């Protein structure tokens, strides 16, 4: 699918088809897309553990749940637990590990052009002591890394491109560490859920419920970016911009989907953040 349409169709999917497995080749493609993402100094700050829902007990799934991620662990057949590898930079620096910049691999691939001053000598005399050394010789630096988000972004888009539903939500870091033997140097970032969507992306407004205060500026941080509405029409035609508000039938869709869950007696009544389905009569918004 074209990039613009993939962007336009992506929504946070909450209802996954629990009975339809995700093909492993689709999971692999999602990972391959993440691996090709931009990264500073060619270091893989991201790491991931792919978890197959059916290989976990209900109790283990419950342990992973958080207030933002409950049903997803019961409905989505696959979840990718994304981590920030805090040892990646320091290890690549200390061991000159291939293919990070300290190893010389990127320079040898002529990706860092000599005409911009990149040379073995520049790397060894300037980049390593002035940039990477101060940053990475102090060891682990918790608090995430934007490059992990960059990689996840490509994984999300690739999932949508393959017709999968996907969403991002936090998981219990402590539970995952115990369940999946996660190294100490890995910091939890987010779970990415994968499955075939039961809900229709077109029903969920692209900007529904959002605060539309200015968030894009130009020249300085006080001057709002002047968006050209004619160009926005072209982005609508390209499929990137879609209906901002949820469809009139969104409430009905959610009501039907709830019947499915009710008939299944609520797939999750776990001890952590179990979902209050029984006796719960919410008014669906749309």
Partner 1 sequence: MELGELIGRRRSIRLFRPWRPVEREKVQTVVEAMRLAPRLLGLDLVRIVVVYKERLSPIELGRLKTPTTTAQLDMAPVLIMPFADLSVLARGLDGSGLKALAAAGVLPRSLGWSDDYIEATVVPEVYRALADDEDRVPLYRRTEPGQTVSRRLLVTAVTAVGLAQTYGLLGAFDQGLGAQLSAINFAAAKELLGYPDDWLPSSPIFLGYPAESVGAGGQRPREPFERDFHLGRHGVPFPRDPDVTRQLAEEGMLQPAAPLPWRRAELRGVASILGLPT
By beta-carbon proximity to partner 1, the closer residue of 29 and 96 is: 29
* 194 lies in the binding site for partner 1 (CB under 8 A): no
- Per-residue binding letters, 208-247, with partner 1 (x by CB under 8 A): xxxx---xxxxxxxx--x-xx--xx-xx----xx---xx-
183 binds partner 1 (CB under 8 A): yes
* Token pair in block for residue 274: 């179990």
**DSSP label of 22:** P
Nearest distance, CB of residue 268 and partner 1, angstroms: 9
Q: Bridge partners of 46?
A: 84
Between 94 and 146, CB nearer to partner 1: 146
255 phi-psi bin (left φ>0, alpha ψ -120 to 50, beta other): alpha
Which residue matches tokens 């039907």?
256
* Sequence-distant (≥ 6) Cβ neighbours of residue 9 within 8 angstroms: 1, 160, 201, 202, 239, 242
Closer Cβ to partner 1, 19 or 181, answer by number? 181
Closer to partner 1 by Cβ: residue 128 or 196: 128
Closest CA to 62 of 175, 185, 183: 175
Please state the separation of Cα 191 from the chain's center in Å. 7
Quick one: 64 or 189, whose CB is closer to partner 1? 189
- DSSP-assigned letters across all residues of 30-62: HHHHHHTS--GGG---EEEEEEEGGGS-HHHHH
Both tokens of 72, joined, read: 């997803």
Total site size for partner 1, rule CB under 8 A: 134
CA distance 179 to 258: 30
Min dist CB 48 to partner 1, Å, is 5
Within residues 59-88, the interface with partner 1 by CB under 8 A covers 66-68, 70-71, 84
Measured at the alpha carbon of residue 203, what is the angle toward residues 198 and 204, in degrees to the nearest 5? 95
Cα 55 → chain centroid: 22
* Shortest distance in whole angstroms from residue 17 CB to partner 1: 15
Of residues 262 through 281, those in contact with partner 1 by CB under 8 A are: 273, 275-277, 280
Q: Pull the structure tokens for residue 153.
A: 């972004």
Q: How far is the CB of 29 from partner 1 (least distance, A)?
A: 7
Residue closer to partner 1 (CB basis): 141 or 196:
141
| Footprint (CB under 8 A) of partner 1, residues 3-32 | 3-4, 6-8, 10, 12, 14-15, 24-25, 27-29, 31-32
Residues 98-157 that bind partner 1 (CB under 8 A): 98-99, 105-106, 108-117, 126-127, 130-131, 141-154, 156-157
Our CB check for partner 1 shows the closer of 196 and 273 to be: 273
């Amino acid at each position: 699918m074209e990039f613009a349409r993939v962007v336009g169709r992506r929504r946070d999917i909450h209802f996954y088809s629990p009975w339809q497995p995700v093909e492993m080749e689709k999971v692999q493609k999602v990972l391959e897309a993440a691996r090709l993402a931009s990264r500073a100094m060619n270091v893989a700050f991201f790491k991931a553990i792919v978890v197959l829902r059916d290989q976990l007990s209900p109790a283990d799934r419950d342990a992973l749940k958080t207030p933002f991620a409950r049903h997803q662990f019961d409905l989505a057949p696959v979840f990718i637990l994304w981590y920030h590898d805090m040892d990646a930079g320091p290890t690549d620096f200390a061991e000159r590990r291939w293919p990070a910049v300290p190893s010389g691999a990127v320079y040898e691939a002529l990706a860092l052009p000599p005409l911009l001053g990149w040379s073995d000598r520049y790397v060894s005399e300037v980049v390593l002591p002035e940039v990477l050394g101060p940053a990475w010789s102090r060891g682990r630096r918790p608090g995430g890394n934007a490059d992990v988000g960059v990689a996840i972004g490509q994984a999300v888009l690739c999932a949508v491109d393959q017709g999968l539903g996907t969403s991002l939500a936090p998981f219990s870091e402590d539970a995952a560490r115990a369940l999946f033997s996660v190294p100490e140097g890995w910091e939890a970032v987010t779970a990415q859920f994968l499955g075939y969507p039961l809900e229709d992306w077109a029903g969920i407004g692209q900007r529904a419920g959002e605060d539309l205060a200015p968030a894009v500026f130009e020249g300085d941080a006080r001057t709002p970016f002047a968006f050209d509405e004619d160009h926005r029409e072209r982005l609508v035609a390209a499929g990137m911009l879609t209906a901002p508000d949820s469809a009139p039938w969104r409430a009905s869709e959610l009501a039907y989907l709830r019947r499915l869950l009710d008939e299944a007696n609520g797939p999750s009544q776990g001890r952590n953040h179990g979902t209050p389905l029984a006796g719960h009569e919410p008014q669906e918004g749309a």
